[in-house]
Amino acid sequence: MSLIQLVYVSSAVRFMSDEELAELLRVSRENNARLDITGLLLYNDGNFIQALEGPEEAVLKLYEKICQDRRHVGVMTLVKEPIKTRLFPEWSMGFQNVKQMEAAELPGFSSFLTQSFTPENFRENPSRVTVLLTTFKKMMR
C-alpha cells in the first residue's frame, strides 16, 4: 500500500461559525478514521489549509469529494507526493482556528500564521505550507 500526502488551500464561501467548524471536524474525524486517513485542518479568516495523509486511493477519492464541496472555492493543491511515514499519524484530523490563538500561546510565533491562507500566498512557493504544518505540529505538542 502506497501512502501519499496531499495539502491544499481553499476559501470558504462565507465565514463559518464555531458550531459549523465543530460539525465539520466531527464528520471529518469519523470518515478519516474509517478510511485510515490522518491530517490537519487549519482555518484562518475564512480560509483553509488541509493536509491529508493515507492510502493513495483513499486520499485521492476524498480530495475529489472535497473539491466538489460547495462550502468553499479556490481549491489549490500545494503538495501531492508519496510519503514513507505520516507527519500526523495520531490525528484523524487535527484542527485549529488560528484566529482564536493568542500570539503568546505559540512558542516560536511567526507572523506567517497571521497571513491569510489564500492560494495567492502560496502560489509562488507552495513548499512554504510544509514548513508551516511541520512547525504548527511541533508547537501543538
The CA distances from residue 103 to 34, 38, 48, 58, 100, in Å, are: 35, 27, 19, 36, 10
Domains along the chain with CATH numbers: 3-139 (3.30.70.100)
pLDDT in tens, 76-117: 898 999 999 998 888 777 665 655 544 444 444 444 455 566
- What percent of the chain is modeled with pLDDT above 90? 33
Encoded amino acid at 25, one letter: L
Query: Which contacts qualify for 110-116: CB closer than 8 Å, 24 or more apart?
Result: 110/135, 113/44, 116/44, 116/45, 116/46, 116/47
Q: Residue 60: its pLDDT value, please?
A: 97
